[in-house]
Amino acid sequence: MKHLTIIVPDGQSNLSTVASIVGAYEIFAGANAYWRKTGKKELFSIQLAGNSKKVKYGEGLISVQPEVDISAITNTTLIIIPPTLIRSYNNAAKGNQLLIDWIEQQYKNGAEIASICSGAFMLASSGLLDGKNCSTHWAHADKFRSLFPNVNLKEEKLITDEYGIYTNGGGYSFLNLIIYLVEKYYDRQTAIYCSKIFQIEIDRQSQSVFTIFSGQKLHGDEVVKKAQTYIENNLHEKISVEHLSSKFGVGRRHFDRRFIKATGNTPVEYSQRVKIESAKKALETTRKNVNEVMYEVGYSDVKAFREVFRRITGMSPLEYRGKYNKEIGQTA
């Protein structure tokens, strides 16, 4: 029988941590039950493991009692790391160092690892994500990049799967990751069964539509910050990289390199994301049509606007307005 370890982190966690622990446990238990029902043996034994006898969450509202101390597990097949609070992440990392060391050792022993939302911070602290793709909640992307520059963050991805390491986006999208893992370890039919029983959309691959772009400004490059502000204050203009680099007295190539290093985007990508974020808000809150919104954010080519909008959000402007504008709704 395979062994599943669900980590119970100690400190700097919240109710989302509990939801992820309970959700992962229940869905894998449901997959086991389905296999029993179809005449197969249970695939996984499941244990909650940590380094404390009891962990309190939500200011003591809920407590979780690990079934076993992490040190007692010498061999496991799959490890699930739930979210941790990011605002005090450095303290959380210190408090969970024993867990981080154990995770690293288990991976070397052949275990696979899946992180949920901000659980990617704990996973990245082990060094196991260096040089690999990773996802986390889009709201934590800037902080993650500043702490772990050697990790290839793909915050638009709902799930990444690389070298036996799985990561996923934010919030309750962890349910999609668990269904993905059920299919990986059990089979497609079991995943479909669990998706129907727990009413989870199967095969969802992107969290782009949920992203609220706010711009990466946790860097110390004042020239880039001024350029970002200029882009954000001149949405209606078609700003070229040559114009920006000239305006701030920096050579084109050097400006490009500095901008990418500071923000994770090229100047063109940054401008596109800022414009599309403004377009999204207009489509959500006004009755303006797509052309009106397009012109307001500096586009004159409908095809180009739609292509960029879809690439960033995963939806067309009309689909987005129909989904998120309550007043217009499906009549769009």
Q: Which of 243, 246, 245, 231 is nearest to 297 (CA)?
A: 231
pLDDT in tens, 21-71: 999 999 999 999 999 999 999 999 999 998 888 877 777 778 888 999 999
Same topology, domains 2-208 and 222-331? Answer is: no
Strand partners, 24: none
- 250 or 58: which leads in pLDDT: 250
pLDDT in tens, 299-324: 999 999 999 999 988 889 999 888 88
- φ, ψ dihedrals at 113, nearest 5°: -135, 140
What CATH class does 2-208 carry? alpha beta
CATH number of 222-331: 1.10.10.60
- Give the ranges where 50-205 is alpha helix by DSSP (H): 89-95, 97-108, 119-125, 141-147, 174-185, 188-197
Other beta carbons within 10 Å of 179: 24
Q: Which of 73, 83, 147 is nearest to 114 (CA)?
A: 83
pLDDT in tens, 140-199: 888 898 889 999 998 888 899 888 999 999 889 999 999 999 999 999 899 999 999 999
Q: Which of 287, 269, 289 is nearest to 277 (CA)?
A: 269
The full set of domain ranges for the chain reads 2-208, 222-331
Please, are residues 61 and 15 in contact by the beta-carbon 8 Å criterion? yes
- φ, ψ dihedrals at 162, nearest 5°: -155, 125
Q: Per-residue DSSP letters for 115-133?
A: E-TTHHHHHHHTTTTTTSE
